[in-house]
């Protein structure tokens, strides 16, 4: 497969029944020459119940191999040392594992990197409202046949590709081991409710302020860590895009380039209110910037976790107004003061690419 650089292989499947072990068709898709391509394989599940499958029937898979055989022979050889694109990675991997292990063998994967469409859409698309697959791809002006695994796989890889071009979202993938540990399991209350439910909710008695604040801060540490890594990847992506293509960044530090290659950083109006979105971060002390940048670049999760716990890095859980208090430093970080919320009045340093103009 000749794929577009920095693109991922998407995986989708159809299930015969509600049982995760009943995969009856699996598909992969990739981007090549600006177009999504796919291949799919029929699978014979260990069930005669096809109540959840609209386009795959028992007769269609009667002579097909079981999932483990299809996976080992047709799918896995294409995935080694690669990046996977999945919608709701935790659930997808659980179903793949359940279907494979009906063979009596343990499900194994190489240490891949995962790009989760749902997680990245929640992180980068403001006001998403509904995080369903169909809502995300419609927001990105794509379409898919929800009853066809190949169509969904093509839409998934196309959506991630488009997400990177429009916003752009980070190309950094989350290690498989972190996904299996639940790193992408964002709580449901991180999203606003679907617009279609607003009228029904207006009739309900609003929860007390303290309860709502408690729910709003119910974030586990690992998702915040992943958001930090994704946003740092975005920052580094923007830095690379702003430099001439012939520059070899591997020969420079993460915070400095030769004077002849330096680009003028954007200017912010001192005293003016700007906004930082949910998932962006602030390094509270200037001396910790290089430490955090290095830890993120090296995927040193222990160091980042320690910095989060010690309050050296703050990750916003919602959009927050901030005030720029100085010019960007040479490393791309801007001194700011938080204007509202639990951390109002605190000062720190934010990557310039994470600061947007208030409406």
The whole-number average pLDDT for the span 131-150 is 93
Banded model confidence at residue 343, pLDDT cuts 50, 70, 90: confident
pLDDT greater at residue 86 or residue 256 = 86
DSSP letters of 269-338?
A: -TT-EEEE-TT-EEESSGGGHHHHHHHHHTT-HHHHHHHHHTTSEEE-SS-EEEEE-SPPPTTSEEEEEE
Q: Tell whether 96 and 29 lie within a shared domain.
A: yes
d(CA 100, CA 350): 45
Q: Tell whether 18 and 123 lie within a shared domain.
A: yes
Res 83: pLDDT: 83
- Cβ atoms of 31 and 158 closer than 8 Å: yes
Find residue 274's DSSP bridge partners: 322, 357
Q: Tell whether 230 and 331 lie within a shared domain.
A: yes
Res 359: pLDDT: 60
Res 266: pLDDT: 73
Q: Tell whether 299 and 229 lie within a shared domain.
A: yes
Please report whether residue 336 resides in a domain.
yes
Those residues whose C-beta lies under 8 Å from the C-beta of residue 36, and which sit 6 or more positions away, are: 29, 30, 154, 155, 157, 158
Please report whether residue 215 resides in a domain.
no
End-to-end CA distance of the chain: 44
The candidate with the shortest Cα–Cα distance to 284, out of 306, 315, 328, is: 315
In which residue are the tokens 């790193």 written?
183
Banded model confidence at residue 341, pLDDT cuts 50, 70, 90: confident
For 25, what's the count of Cα atoms within 13 Å in the CB-facing half-sphere? 24
Cα dihedral across residues 328, 333, 336, 340: positive or negative: positive
Banded model confidence at residue 250, pLDDT cuts 50, 70, 90: very low
Flag whether the pTM goes above 0.75.
Answer: no
Res 183: pLDDT: 55
Res 314: pLDDT: 86
Which of 94-103, 117-126, 223-232 holds the top average pLDDT? 94-103
Res 73: pLDDT: 94
Res 292: pLDDT: 84
Last residue within a domain, chosen from 171, 189, 207: 189
Q: Tell whether 167 and 310 lie within a shared domain.
A: no
Those residues whose C-beta lies under 8 Å from the C-beta of residue 298, and which sit 6 or more positions away, are: none
Q: Tell whether 156 and 69 lie within a shared domain.
A: yes
- Cβ atoms of 289 and 349 closer than 8 Å: yes
Region for 127 from its dihedrals, namely left if φ exceeds 0, alpha if ψ lies in -120 to 50, beta otherwise: left
d(CA 304, CA 229): 9
The whole-number average pLDDT for the span 307-323 is 84
DSSP letters of 242-261?
A: TS-TT--GGGS-SS---GGG
Q: What are the pLDDT digits (tens) for 162-208?
A: 887 776 555 556 666 666 656 566 554 444 444 444 344 444 444 55
pLDDT greater at residue 53 or residue 215 = 53
Phi, psi of 232 (to 5 degrees): -65, -40
Could you tell me the CATH number of the domain that includes residue 306? 2.30.30.40
Is the confidence at residue 242, as pLDDT, over 70? no
Banded model confidence at residue 223, pLDDT cuts 50, 70, 90: low
Is the confidence at residue 219, as pLDDT, over 50? no
Res 27: pLDDT: 96
With a pLDDT cut of 90, the percent of the chain lying above it is 34
Last residue within a domain, chosen from 146, 166, 189: 189
Res 205: pLDDT: 46
Q: How many structural domains does the chain have?
A: 2
Res 20: pLDDT: 94
pLDDT greater at residue 299 or residue 308 = 308
Please report whether residue 16 resides in a domain.
yes
Is the confidence at residue 156, as pLDDT, over 70? yes
Could you tell me the CATH number of the domain that includes residue 140? 3.30.420.10
- Cβ atoms of 124 and 169 closer than 8 Å: yes
Q: Tell whether 228 and 145 lie within a shared domain.
A: no
Distances, alpha carbon 264 to alpha carbons 256, 261, 291, 327, in Å? 13, 10, 24, 11
Give the domain range for residue 113: 9-189
SS3 content of the chain, % helix, strand, coil (to 5): 40, 20, 45
pLDDT-wise least confident of 139-148, 159-168, 221-230, 313-322: 221-230
Q: Tell whether 180 and 236 lie within a shared domain.
A: no
Q: Tell whether 184 and 44 lie within a shared domain.
A: yes
Mean pLDDT computed over every residue of the chain: 76
The whole-number average pLDDT for the span 204-214 is 47
DSSP letters of 5-23?
A: TT--EEEEEEESSSSTT-E
**Consecutive H or E run containing 36:** strand 35-42
Please report whether residue 68 resides in a domain.
yes
Q: What are the pLDDT digits (tens) for 38-76?
A: 999 999 999 999 999 989 999 999 999 999 999 999 999
Q: Tell whether 50 and 105 lie within a shared domain.
A: yes
Structure tokens at 241: 């895009």
Is the confidence at residue 91, as pLDDT, over 80? yes
Please report whether residue 331 resides in a domain.
yes
d(CA 282, CA 185): 23
Please report whether residue 313 resides in a domain.
yes
d(CA 74, CA 127): 39
Please report whether residue 18 resides in a domain.
yes
pLDDT greater at residue 249 or residue 10 = 10
d(CA 213, CA 210): 5
* Cis peptide bond prior to 168, omega within 30° of 0: yes
Please report whether residue 4 resides in a domain.
no
Q: Tell whether 88 and 237 lie within a shared domain.
A: no
Q: Tell whether 14 and 95 lie within a shared domain.
A: yes
Structure tokens at 286: 């200037």
The 10 Å Cβ neighbour count of residue 260 is: 6
In which residue are the tokens 């959840």 written?
52
């Amino acid at each position: 497969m000749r794929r577009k650089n920095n693109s991922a292989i998407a995986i989708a499947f159809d299930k015969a029944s509600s049982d995760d072990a009943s995969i009856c068709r699996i598909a992969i898709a990739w981007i090549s020459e600006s177009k999504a391509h796919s291949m799919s394989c029929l699978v014979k599940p260990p069930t005669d119940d096809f109540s959840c499958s609209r386009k795959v029937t028992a007769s269609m898979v009667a002579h097909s191999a079981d999932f483990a055989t299809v996976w080992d022979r047709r799918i896995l050889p294409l995935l080694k040392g690669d990046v996977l694109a999945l919608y709701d990675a935790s659930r997808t991997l659980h179903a793949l594992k359940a279907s494979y292990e009906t063979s009596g063998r343990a499900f194994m994967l190489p240490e891949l990197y995962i790009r989760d469409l749902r997680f990245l859409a929640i992180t980068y698309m403001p006001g998403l409202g509904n995080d369903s697959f169909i809502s995300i791809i419609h927001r990105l002006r794509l379409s898919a046949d929800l009853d066809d695994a190949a169509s969904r796989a093509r839409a998934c890889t196309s959506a991630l590709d488009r997400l990177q071009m429009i916003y752009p979202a980070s190309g950094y993938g989350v290690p498989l081991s972190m996904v299996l540990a639940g790193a992408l399991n964002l709580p449901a209350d991180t999203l606003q409710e679907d617009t279609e439910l607003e009228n029904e909710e207006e009739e309900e008695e609003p929860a007390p302020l303290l309860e709502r604040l408690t729910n709003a801060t119910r974030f586990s540490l690992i998702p915040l860590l992943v958001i930090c890594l994704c946003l740092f990847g975005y920052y580094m992506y923007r830095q690379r895009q702003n430099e001439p293509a012939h520059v070899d960044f591997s020969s420079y530090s993460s915070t400095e380039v030769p004077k002849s290659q330096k680009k003028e950083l954007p200017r912010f109006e001192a005293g003016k209110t700007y906004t930082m979105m949910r998932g962006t971060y602030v390094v509270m002390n200037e001396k910790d910037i290089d430490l955090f940048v290095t830890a993120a670049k090296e995927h040193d999760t222990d160091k980042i976790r320690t910095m989060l716990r010690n309050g050296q890095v703050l990750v916003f859980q919602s959009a927050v107004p901030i005030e720029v208090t100085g010019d960007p430093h040479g490393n791309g970080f801007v001194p700011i003061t938080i204007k509202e919320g639990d951390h109002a009045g605190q000062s720190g340093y934010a990557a310039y690419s994470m600061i947007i103009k208030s409406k």
